[in-house]
Amino acid sequence: MTGRTIAVTGADGFIGQNLRLRLGELGDRVLPLTRASTRDDWFVAVAQADGVVHLAGANRPADPGEFAAVNQGSARLLTEALAAAGRAVPVIYASSIRAEGDDDYGRSKRAGEDLLRAHGETGAAPVHIFRLPNVFGKWARPNYNSAVATFCHNVARDLPITIHDPAAPLSLVYIDDVIDLFLAALNSDIAGGFAEVAPVYHTTVGEVAATIRGFRDDRAGNMIDAVGTGLTRALYATYVAALPQSDFSYPIVSHRDPRGAFSEMLKTRTTGQFSYFTALPGVTRGGHYHHTKTEKFLIVHGRARFRFRHMVTGETCTITTDADTPQIVETIPGWAHDVTNVGEGVMISLLWANELFDRARPDTIAAQV
């Protein structure tokens, strides 16, 4: 369902900014409520809303009394605005796992839950309460209420980070997953109440810090970790989002000679490395074979001729390809191979090898084709 009007309290905070962006992508209209909004603003926004996401709250106030004034007080204001609207407006409440505790913050969040649950029990509309653990992701504020944001910000700038107990447990939920949960609740017609938060990543402070430090070290070594799934994927996105603009790009080494240039783009620990090379017209590169190593070539500019020769039988094979007809050419163990630029301009090829280049054991034996 799209084209709705959604009121978002705490709209200028970390979660609020991410939620507003996603709602905009769906074509929804967002009515933002912030600390600058008046009581009348809340009543006007809620009266127009098809749904409310209540994110407003105090996490680290200078005066502990603000916990109750903001967390409980904003929940009370919202229930009053909902009652005045006289419409069935579903509510999403971003509570905290600390609502189970007995400190000032926990009590204030629990009091907010109680107020909103009481409103939901009147049958006016469902109230979905999410007790969130530590939320992390892009736009989280460093040195505020997210250790992950602080680690990413400092490590990206080569600043020290403070860890009192590396073994301290840490439960994390990623911002994109939180937004998915909120949107699913807004789109559902299920009864309100406490909603499941998943996936939650259970780790330690030391493990998270080590992973984030590894991102910086890997970048300096032209490496990449397994950043495509799970917690590491989410931490990597958060780290990259924390980079200063001066680090949005970085140089790589390019080896140049009269034949052209060869540059290693990216190396992995488990799935080889990616490179590219250029060749001037008439230039032949290669002229070797491998026992175990395999490679994949893709010509992205120009025209190339690949030649192969079986090292035992002498059988030969020739493949001609160009950038207009994308085609992977794979080198085969036990076959000598070379590639020649048979076009009129510079040839450019992407290259993937299934293993990192090891100078001590290169598995590359010179042989004419």
> So which residues are the catalytic ones?
105
Structure tokens at 337: 């191979």
Distance in angstroms (rounded) separating the CA atoms of residues 128 and 185 = 7
Contact 96, 59 (CB under 8 A): no
Per-residue three-class SS string for 73-110: HHHHHHHHHHHHHCCCCCEEEEEEHHHHCCCHHHHHHH
- Integer Cα distance of 47 and 350 in angstroms: 57
Q: Which residues, including other chains, have CB under 8 Å from residue 16's CB and lie 6 or more apart?
A: 8, 9, 10, 32, 55
Please list the alpha-helical segments (H only) found in the chain: 14-25, 39-48, 65-66, 73-85, 104-121, 147-156, 175-187, 205-220, 230-241
Whether residue 281 is preceded by a cis peptide bond, meaning omega within 30 degrees of 0, is no
Tell me if 158 sits within 8 A of 247, measured CB to CB: no
Q: Give backbone dihedrals phi and psi of 92, rounded to 5 degrees, phi first.
A: -110, 125
